[in-house]
Chain A
Amino acid sequence: MPGEPTGAAPARAGSTARDRATEALRDVAREPGAAKPDPILVADGVVRRFGGLTAVNVNHVEIQRGAITALIGPNGAGKTTFFNLLTGFDRPDEGQWKFNGDAVQGVPPHKVARRGMVRTFQLTKALSRLSVIDNMRLGAVGQKGETFWRALIPSLWRKQEAEITERADALLERFKLDKKREDFAGSLSGGQRKLLEMARALMVEPHMVMLDEPMAGVNPALTQSLLGHVKNLREDGMTVLFVEHDMDMVRDISDWVIVMAQGQVIAEGTPDSVMADPRVIDAYLGAHHDGAPDPSAPIDNEPAAGPKATDGPAERE
């Protein structure tokens, strides 16, 4: 079940999750590693090296429960690698982190997902030769029919399958994919795949969703509806951590922003405070830029070119 928003800030009746998150984060220090009133995720000393390159070197970071947190930073800052580490898809050289109070380092990715921390990928992973509805059904956890012997006896899982399908259809409708229900996922457009991947992740009923560039390559007309979906996740009591290069979007939906550069967290704060921070501007434009550029301009909207190995390390589980 989605985590109950148990924000330390007093939740006024009728207030939205957004208000509650803003309220909770109001007094948090605008500095790297700032303590949060009710963190769902706490990471300490997480280091990942690739040969001589230290891709991730995060001293301390906390993610506030029930809020939308953006993780930004220039290309190669280590955002995807950090995602991979947190979700068990890659192993750190050092460090530990706690999710919902339990240590999760060293836990294989499928168990991390079952604990309620579900991620999507920068390069979308639609299961091409499965139908859209089967992609969705796959996301449900605790399916009886997924055990070998019980799979052989349909009467053991039919009822559950019907319930799962009902939930999947509701989500498909919400994500405007219901007309594509029976199509192969491989026949969807790039933007539709992003939508499908997000909807599929929600089938897991996570406490926290981690979206790696959910808007990359998505048609601007679709962006608005995607933004709406992400905001809805917060209203549903979920915590959202997302990587994004589009600063307008970051400003629009996030309650809190964490900035990474060269593997380290260099700044934290509300969207406005972070975008005015000279360290952030330096990180994006280099330390020796001339004059003060307009920090509200989209800083880097280009998705990284070429296939990247960082979404799936060779060694797994």
Chain B
Amino acid sequence: MINWDVIFSVSLESLVGATTIVYALAAIGLNVHFGYAGLLNFGQSAFLGVAAYGMAITVSTFDLPFWLGILVGLAATVVLALLLGIPTLRLRADYLAIVTIAAAEIVRLLFRSVSLSEWTGGSDGLQSFSQSFYDLNPYSGGISTTLISFSARELWIITVGWIVVALALFIVWLLMRSPWGRVIKAIREDEDAVRSLGKSVFAYKMQALILGGVLGSFGGYIFALSLAAIQPDTYGTEFTFYMYTIVILGGAARVLGPVVGSMIFWLLLTFINALLPALVSAGTIPTSIMTTNQAGAVGYILVGVGLILLLIFRPQGIFGDKKEVMLDAR
């Protein structure tokens, strides 16, 4: 017997849930880097990580106020952007890619290192930093309908999360239709042409790197707060690769692309990951093909195949302009 109600409700919940928000914010930042400025940042996970850890360490380890924690996290994000950007942004684009991918691993290993565990909690991470956030929760109870149900805590994080997403989108929208955004997009096309027109390419790339990191850092806060815990290993490179998938799925350099990309990605993944085990349990898929244990992996494979098909038939993503993508092929 397949429980379609459950499958549909988890899928619907994932459409607006905290995970979708986290990845949407991370991808909005990455879209500034990759989509608009052409910066190959393969360490976006580190930006979310230092923000979340900055907040958690401030609150949990040092017992300081939550808002201070947010500020510390933001400062950490900016410092990381400067550290990554200053040595690499004067060089060719691929240097940033190499340095960011390495830096992301270094950051993750630092978080889980034994010698720092007094502050970071080592591989167990940190908890008990989210109380003041949930103390602000105006919802007294959750909602529960036939289709979706959220607890009061979930409602609060989702509300805050979507407000932050809306603000982030508004900022990106404002910037990318301004002369500042025009310089950023021009740098993506050809740095030397922009230099020859009197713009300091390095300064703009640095600003874009910081902006994208800061926008992404809010994904780090939402992530940590929604789980009320942080663990170093969630900030691995596959985190960043999901973000790239989402940016490309939605359509790079489109304001709404990352949000729609994140919604579709998590809707599909949740749906398939709920459906496959149910089909196996109900005997619709015989265990000779796959067991419930294997269903998870098969789910990812199916999503991967879907993405490949998307890139073949719609390389510009959901919102992109095919003409624009094809210009490169001339």
Contacts and interface: CB of A to CB of B under 8 A. Distances in A.
- State yes or no: do A and B come from one complex: yes
Interface of A: 87, 89, 108-111, 113-114, 118-121, 125-130, 134-135, 137-139, 141, 143-148, 150-152, 154, 157, 161, 184, 186-187, 197, 200-201, 203-204, 311-312, 314-317
25 contacts: A110-B194, A110-B195, A110-B198, A110-B199, A110-B200, A120-B196, A121-B193, A126-B193, A127-B190, A129-B324, A139-B197, A144-B179, A145-B178, A148-B180, A148-B211, A151-B174, A151-B175, A152-B174, A186-B327, A187-B323, A197-B193, A312-B191, A314-B92, A316-B192, A317-B201
Contacts, number: 133
Contacts of A203: 197
A195 B203 CA distance: 29
Nearest to A185: B189
Contact of A145 (B91, B180, B191, B323): B180
B259 interface: no
Contact of A125 (B180, B192, B199, B330): B192
B202 A317 contact: yes
B178 A151 contact: yes
Q: Which 10 A-B pairs have the closest CB atoms?
A: A145-B179, A151-B180, A186-B327, A151-B178, A125-B193, A113-B198, A127-B189, A109-B195, A114-B198, A146-B179
B189 A130 contact: yes
Given A121-B196, A147-B180, A157-B178, 12 more contacts: A110-B201, A113-B195, A113-B197, A127-B189, A128-B189, A130-B189, A138-B199, A144-B179, A146-B183, A151-B178, A316-B90, A317-B195
Interface string B234-252: 0000000000000000000
Contact of B179 (A111, A119, A137): A137
Interface in B143-189: 171, 174-175, 178-183, 185-186, 188-189
B207 interface: yes
Contacts of A312: 191-192
Contacts of B202: 317
Nearest to A143: B179
A128 B327 contact: yes
Interface string B313-330: 000000000011001101
Contact of A128 (B180, B182, B201, B328): B328
A188 to B, nearest CB: 10
Contacts of A120: 196
Nearest to B193: A125
Contacts of B174: 151-152, 154
B182 to A, nearest CB: 6
Contacts of A161: 179
Nearest to A145: B179
A161 B196 CA distance: 20
Given A125-B192, A157-B178, A161-B179, A187 B197 contact: no
Contact of A130 (B175, B179, B185, B328): B185
A200 B174 CA distance: 25
A110 B199 CA distance: 5
A130 B180 contact: no
B164 to A, nearest CB: 17
Contacts of B90: 315-317
Contacts of A134: 182, 185-186
Interface centre among A121, A127, A201 (most CB of B within 10 A): A127
A108 B195 CA distance: 9
Nearest to A128: B327
A146 B199 contact: yes
B29 to A, nearest CB: 15
Contacts of A317: 90, 195, 200-202
Contacts of A145: 178-180
B197 A118 contact: yes
Contacts of A314: 91-92
Interface string B70-95: 00000000000000000000111000
Contacts of A315: 90-91
Interface centre among B180, B183, B194, B324 (most CB of A within 10 A): B180
B95 to A, nearest CB: 10
A316 B189 CA distance: 16
A19 to B, nearest CB: 31
Contacts of B211: 148
Given A145-B180, A315-B90, A315-B91, A184 B195 contact: no
Contact of A129 (B91, B179, B185, B193): B185
A279 to B, nearest CB: 33
Contacts of A129: 185, 188-189, 324, 327
Nearest to B199: A110
Interface in B244-303: none
Contacts of A128: 189, 327-328
Contacts of A152: 171, 174-175, 178
Nearest to A153: B174
